[in-house]
Structures are given as structure tokens and as C-alpha cells.
Amino acid sequence: MAQASEIVPGFDRRTAEALANRQLKIAIDRTAGTARAKRAAIVGEWPDFAVARAHGKAIKDHVVAHLGHYLAEFERNAVASGAVVHFARTADEAATIVVGICEAAGAKRVTRSKSMLGEEIGLPHALEAAGIERTETDLAEHIVQLAGERPSHIIWPAMHKTREEIHELFKAGHAAPDLGETPVEMAASARRILREKFHAADVGISGANFLIADSGSVAVVTNEGNAELTTTLPPVHIVTAGIEKLVPSAGHALQMLRLLVRSATGAAMTQYTTFHTGPKRAGDADGPREFHIVLVDNGRTRMLAEEGGLRDMLRCIRCGACMNHCPVFNQIGGHAYGGTYPGPMGAVLTPALDGLSMQTRDLAHACTLNGRCREVCPVDIPLPTLLRGWRTKSWREGLEPVTMRSGLSLWRSLATHPLAYRLGVAAASLALRLMAGRSRRIRRLPLVGGAWTRHRDMPAPSGSTFLNSAAARARAPGRGKGEIR
Amino acid sequence: MRPDDGAPAAAAEGPGEGLEVALFVTCLVNVMRPQIAESAIDLLEAAGCHVVVPLEQTCCGQPALNAGDAEDAKAMARHQIAVLEPFAHVVVPSGSCTATIAHDYVALFADDPVWGPRARALASRIHEVLSFLVDVLGFTPPPVRLPATATYHDTCSGLRELGIRAQPRQLLKSVEGLELVPLPDADVCCGFGGTFCIKYPAIADAVVTEKTAAIRSTGADILLGGDLGCLMNMAGKLKRQGSTVRTYHTVEVLAGRGALPGLGEER
């Protein structure tokens, strides 16, 4: 995968850069903070949210359990509506198919509406490599394209940019005159640039929020209307979608949409919700001449095969609530994760898509397992459990550091020999108390403890260990509390 | 009623009368703050329970489990199951260690014909201490006095894996003179995360710095919570920042130890 292979130079360095960037933290707090507050408000006034969530989970689980059936039904109905359906096993295959369709249409210019799957399959890079001019028409994606970056959030791709930074990008990247630095003026400047691109495009490429099996339709939601201009003006429309986007019917899609929009932006409804069924028919006012749907596997059937594990991740509807509520994401932002998808869902997906390696093993560890991501997930994905699953796999595959392996091996020996454990930790307690002295806290610990005391004090043990005292009492009963056995 | 003749507190009558309860101390409480275990025993005995401390207990295995080391985690889990399963009730002064035994042991041995049933049986008998006092015993602790302002942080494992939110707040009403002020974002992680804070110290520091800012914004004298690892993280940061906020496990305050030095404070 062209884009995802750029996930060097390492998690620690990306994290350090992110933490040093004060503008980034301001930008994250503005966007994620607003998103959390709006989500909490709208979920709070939704009396049957828990029921809707359970129902959404059941819909997705049902589709995943019968994926072959719904894929076949979708293909049959899409073809009947006049669409051309393509299957891609890998990211490269998907990108090659899309580029091939563009080349067959003689396309020189394409417009794209926001699609994380497009990022996943490396489409921006593949189009450029084929010499095709690519224009991102989602406002935030437009900003990311001007900056030569990748999205840092799956809902707000440019969340890492402050308004001031965006104005600088527009001044440099947009035709004169500069229209100003308020959000309204900057949107007007982008609209002026993008309007020409919409009209000049030979091919429009979109993603999909839902693939509707019983009609072969593709549903796309946006808040800017750019997807509608991307998909109806050019003579060719290509949809790229992961196969997990399938739902049985439009009714199911609308149930999922309620969960998606409320969880993503805290709004009750998206501004634009468009259902595409086949190309332009006789008598239609507009629409593409050709309508292609590229269904992408890229590791999804492999996830499906893992019973009780990663298949839960196939429920994900890409709302971004997990990252908005993640204490780690809120400090380091999306780029530090290094993959297409950031935050908790990205930490689960990236090793599934790109493979578990020294490059990706950090993602599952850089998590406190606090569980807030699962709490807000609209389809109840057990993200902490899945992240721990990656840690277990990483351990089995020998990717974990030798210090951790020998440390835990020693700890296990102590913890399965009670006397050794009791005396061993009593010795540690004594050492800590000696280090602390009268101040009752330690300002500098040696070895791995230094990672703690670099940023905070270590409170000293308040006395000898409880179990050692208890053992002493057991030898001289009658004093103290509890029965020692 | 507690007799006035100096007889041990175990003679008290209460909702726990006749119940034998084992205390699983946890590693951090054992080493760092034994008075949390003593406070838990005081409260359980005040409720009438007969408290037993099994000396063979060690570590629940959570560090191995969270590191991905399933085999060592299982070895430690088997040891605790054998030590704790004779008791009708096991009480733990930590949400995260309780959740490990209540949930993770069951998952670890899901397909094990021998240890699976034993893990499930223990899971049904293990309780976080505050949840045990409120949900099982319906106990109101004897009143103690502590004139102070406190704020409460919901430690994540207890909150999300065990549903502990109302119990500590309800119990703290029995502390006379204690005013509980809400902590902004009380349900947001403090950045401890076990070995997380050692593996990613800079990220953990950024998270705990936001947490201590929220704590200090309340103007409270005292910070309370239910998991010692999280409390050490927050107290350690508060002390490094020169804050005078005192940090305790909730049971210490309930058992009348709230005027003693807090975490990391001089005697």
C-alpha cells in the first residue's frame, strides 16, 4: 500500500513531534471538545439510544455473518440497475481498477469526495502516479491536499490545522485575490476554486457509507454537498467501498445513519444524504453515463475468519467517536498513529490491514485500556479487548521487548511462590522507603522507574507491607484486625 | 451495636453478620499503602463480617495480561483461583484487580474444562469493596468526621467494567463535614494505564497534567478514588507541581483515616 508504507519513522518520534506542537493541541481540543459535547447532548436526549445501539450492532453482526449472501444480492441488484461491479482483493488491486476505469474513460481530471477507503487503498498516490489530476472536493480534504498531508481524523481530516494555518495555505494555493481569513471568506475562496474543478472533471470518485443489498444502491452522506457535485456532474462515477459497508435494506441504512450522525458530529441528521442507484436513465435530469462500484476486501475477509476477535471490528461505521473520546488521541492527534485510520479504531485496524510488525506494534500498547472508546461506540465494538488481542499476538510472535519478557517471567515465579512474593515485595518496599527518607516521596527513581519520576513524584510506601505484617501477626495472634489464614 | 468493653470490632452486629469474607489485598495496596487494606477490614468488620486474609495470595496477573503474556497471566490466575475459591465472598480494594478476576479470568479459561468452571465460580463471588458494602450488604458506615472539601475521580476499570459510580458517592455522605465537589471530566482516564505510563511517559504526562489541572480547578483539599495505581499517578503529579491537595483511597476516609498523611506526604 503506497501511502500506508510511509509509516516510518516510528511511533515515539511521531508522538514526540505531536506533543511538542502546541497548535495541534489547540486544534484538537477545539474540534474534539465540541464533538464530545454535542454527542453527549444529542445522545442524552435520545431515550432509546441503548436500544438503537443494540439494534445497530445486531444489523452489522447479521450482515457480517451472512456476508457472502449480501454481497451476491448487492451485486445482482447493482448490475440490474446498470452499475458495473468490480471486486478487489487488495488495496493495490482496488487502486489499479480505479485508475484503469479512469484511463479507459480517457480521464485527465478527477474530482474526489471524502473517502477513508480511498486513503486506505492509496488512491491519491495511484491517481497522481498515473498522471491524472486529482482534486479533493471536501473542504477539509482540500486543505489536506494543499498541505501535501494525509487526513488526521476520519470525520475532520484537517482537524490538526488551525484557522490561521488554513488561511496561509489558501493564500499560497488559491488564485488571487485573497478573499479573507474568516471561515466564511475562506469557504468562499475554496468554493471559487472547486466550482471550476467540478465542471471540468472527467470522472468523479466517492466512497460509500452504506451499500444497500436489496436495491444495489450506494448511500453517501456529507455536510457540504460536494459529493453530489462530484458524483452527478462528470460522465463517470466510481464508488470505492469496503465490503463491510453492506446493509440489507434502505431501512437498515437509515437506522445505522441515526447512530452514525449522532455519534460523529452530534447532529441529528447530515446535510446531504444521497442514494445512488445505477447510472443516468432515460429521462433523468442528470447523473453519470457510467456507474462503477469497486468492492474492496483488503484484509476484511481475513478479519471475518478470526472467530470472536477481529470480526467485531467489521461492525465499525467510521463515526470517529472512539478517537474523540480517547485520552491518547486527544494528546497526540491522528498523524502520530501513522496509518490511514487513527485513534482506537485505527489502532485495531492498522495491524489488520498492514500487518503486525515492529512498525505497528506500538499502536495497541499506546492505550490505557480505560474503555471510554467502547462506551461511546455506537455498535459496541470491544476496542480495549481487541487492542489487548493485538498485544497477545505481538507477544506470541516475539515482537515484545526482552526486558518485558524476562521481567514478567520473574514476576510470575514470585507470584506463584507466596513466601518468595511476600519477602520479595517487602524488600522492594523497604528499598523505596529508604530512597524516600523523611519526605515520603521519591523525586528520582533508577532504571525503568525513571520514566515515572521524569514527570511526577513516586509516593513512598507508608509502612511495611500489609502481608508481611499479617504474617507476623499470624505468628502472634490476638492483635490487629482480620483473621490471618 | 459495638460493645463498649473493648472487645474486637468483629463482634459488631450488622448486615454482614455471619459472613466470612476474604480480603484480596492487591500488590499496590500491599506494598504502597497498607492502611487501605486496614481501612477495608475496619469497614467490613463494622458491617459485621468476619474478615480473613489468606497469606498465600499474590498478584492477580493483570500486568502479564495487559502485556499480552497470556501464559504467565494464566499461571498467576490459577494460583489466585486456588487461594481464593474456598471463600463465599472475596473483597478487593481495587476496581482494576477486581475486573481482572471477575472478567478476564473467565475469558482466559473460557475453553478450559478444569479452570473455566473454577474461574466462573470465583467471578461470581468477587466484589470491589465499595460495591460490596453498598450493593451486597446495603451497609452505611458508622459516621466519622472530616471537615474538608473533596473531589472524586472515577477510576476507569471500576467505572466501566464494574459500574461503580454511585456507591462511593453514597458512602461518602456518611462522612460528617465532608463536602464533595464535582470533578470536571471525572470519568476521563488519568493516564496511568499500568505499564502504559512507563512505556509512553510523555503521553501519560500530558494526560495526567490535564487531570491535575481539573482537580486543582475544583479547589478541593482532598482527591479520592478507588484504584491505587491511578491515585499514585495523580498524587505524584500533584506533589511534583507543589500542590497541597491530599490524595486517599475512598475507604481510608470512610474508615476515619482521612486526617492522616495522604499519598506521598510526610508524617
B194 at interface of A, judged by CB pairs closer than 8 A = yes
Indicate if ipTM > 0.85.
yes
Q: How many CB pairs under 8 A join A and B?
A: 230
Å from A143 to nearest chain B CA? Answer: 27
Q: For residues A220-233, give the mean pLDDT.
A: 93
Å from A316 to nearest chain B CA? Answer: 21
Whether residue A177 is preceded by a cis peptide bond, meaning omega within 30 degrees of 0, is yes
- Does domain B9-134 match CATH 1.20.1050? yes
Residue A232 lies in a domain: yes
More confident position, B9 or A188: A188
Contacts of A369 in chain B (CB under 8 A): 66, 156, 193-194, 196
Let me know whether A90 and A235 are in one domain. yes
Residue A281 lies in a domain: yes
B235 at interface of A, judged by CB pairs closer than 8 A = yes
- The answer for A398, left when phi > 0, alpha when psi is -120 to 50, beta otherwise, is left
Q: Do B233 and A451 touch (CB under 8 A)?
A: no
Which residue of chain B is at minimal alpha-carbon distance from A392? B68
Nearest to B55 among A328, A449, A470 (CB): A470
Which residues, 6 or more positions from A356, have their beta carbon under 8 angstroms from its beta carbon? Answer: A390, A393, A394, A397, A399
pLDDT band at residue B4 using 50, 70 and 90 as cut-offs: very low
Query: Is the predicted pLDDT of residue A159 greater than 80, yes or no?
Result: yes
Range of the domain at A443: 403-475
Q: Do B52 and A482 touch (CB under 8 A)?
A: yes
Domain boundary among A302, A334, A355: A302
Q: Do B264 and A396 touch (CB under 8 A)?
A: no
Q: Provide the 10 A C-beta neighbour count for residue A152.
A: 27
Nearest to B199 among A365, A455, A485 (CB): A365
Q: For residues B230-247, give the mean pLDDT.
A: 98
pTM: 0.95
pLDDT at position A482, please? 85
Residue A152 lies in a domain: yes
Which residue of chain A is at minimal alpha-carbon distance from B95? A370
Contacts of A13 in chain B (CB under 8 A): none
pLDDT at position B266, please? 85
Q: A142 with A190: CB under 8 angstroms? A: yes
pLDDT in tens, A16-73: 999 999 999 999 999 999 999 999 999 999 989 999 999 999 999 999 999 999 999 9
Q: Would you state the cell numbers that stand for residue A100, as one nine-digit string? A: 484503469
Mutation to test the B interface, candidates A328, A356, A368, A475, most B Cβ within 10 Å:
A368
Å from B115 to nearest chain A CA? Answer: 16
pLDDT at position A371, please? 98
Q: For residues A337-364, give the mean pLDDT.
A: 95
pLDDT at position A5, please? 38
Query: Is the predicted pLDDT of residue A2 greater than 60, yes or no?
Result: no
Q: Would you state the cell numbers that stand for residue A483, as one nine-digit string? A: 483473621
Contacts of B9 in chain A (CB under 8 A): 481
B29 at interface of A, judged by CB pairs closer than 8 A = yes
Cα distance between residue B129 and residue B141, in whole Å = 13
Cα distance between residue A422 and residue A412, in whole Å = 13
Residue A1 lies in a domain: no
Residue A309 lies in a domain: no
B16 at interface of A, judged by CB pairs closer than 8 A = no
Nearest to A485 among B31, B55, B79 (CB): B55
Q: Do A441 and B70 touch (CB under 8 A)?
A: no
- Tell me the fold of B143-254: Rossmann fold (3.40.50)
pLDDT in tens, B104-151: 999 999 999 999 999 999 999 999 999 999 999 999 999 999 999 999
Residue A318 lies in a domain: no
Which residues, 6 or more positions from A449, have their beta carbon under 8 angstroms from its beta carbon? Answer: A458, B198
pLDDT at position B21, please? 97
Q: Where exactly are the structural domains of chain B? A: 9-134, 143-254
Q: Would you state the cell numbers that stand for residue B53, as one nine-digit string? A: 486474609
Q: For residues A203-220, give the mean pLDDT.
A: 98
Let me know whether A276 and A407 are in one domain. no
Contacts of B199 in chain A (CB under 8 A): 365-366, 451
CATH number at residue A149: 3.40.50.10420
Domain boundary among A286, A302, A318: A302
pLDDT in tens, A382-403: 999 999 999 999 999 999 999 9
pLDDT at position A308, please? 54
Nearest to A327 among B189, B264, B267 (CB): B189
Domain boundary among A264, A279, A302: A302
pLDDT at position B58, please? 98
Q: For residues A110-126, give the mean pLDDT.
A: 97
Q: Which of A211, A242, A207 is nearest to A81 (CA)?
A: A211
pLDDT in tens, B14-51: 899 989 999 999 999 999 999 999 999 999 999 999 99
DSSP H or E run through A301: helix A300-305
Q: A421 with A415: CB under 8 angstroms? A: yes
The SS3 assignment for A422 reads helix
Q: For residues A173-199, give the mean pLDDT.
A: 93
Q: Which of A459, A158, A34 is nearest to B237 (CA)?
A: A459
Nearest to A440 among B9, B196, B267 (CB): B267
pLDDT band at residue A143 using 50, 70 and 90 as cut-offs: very high
Q: Do A469 and B34 touch (CB under 8 A)?
A: yes
Q: A317 with A259: CB under 8 angstroms? A: yes
Query: Is the predicted pLDDT of residue B5 greater than 50, yes or no?
Result: no
Q: Would you state the cell numbers that stand for residue A4, as one nine-digit string? A: 500506508
Burial letters A339-374, b for 16+ CB under 10 A, else e: bbbbbbbbbbbbbbbbebeebbbbbbbbbbbbbbbb
Q: Do A392 and B70 touch (CB under 8 A)?
A: yes
Q: Which of B192, B196, B201 is nearest to B263 (CA)?
A: B192
Largest CA distance in chain A: 97
Q: Do A370 and B160 touch (CB under 8 A)?
A: yes
Q: Which of B172, B193, B194 is nearest to B181 (CA)?
A: B172
- Indicate the average pLDDT of chain A: 94
Nearest to A412 among B75, B203, B206 (CB): B75
pLDDT in tens, B151-173: 999 999 999 999 999 999 999 99
pLDDT band at residue B7 using 50, 70 and 90 as cut-offs: very low
Which residue of chain A is at minimal alpha-carbon distance from B235? A459
How many domains does chain A divide into?
A: 2
Let me know whether A154 and A275 are in one domain. yes
Let me know whether A428 and A281 are in one domain. no
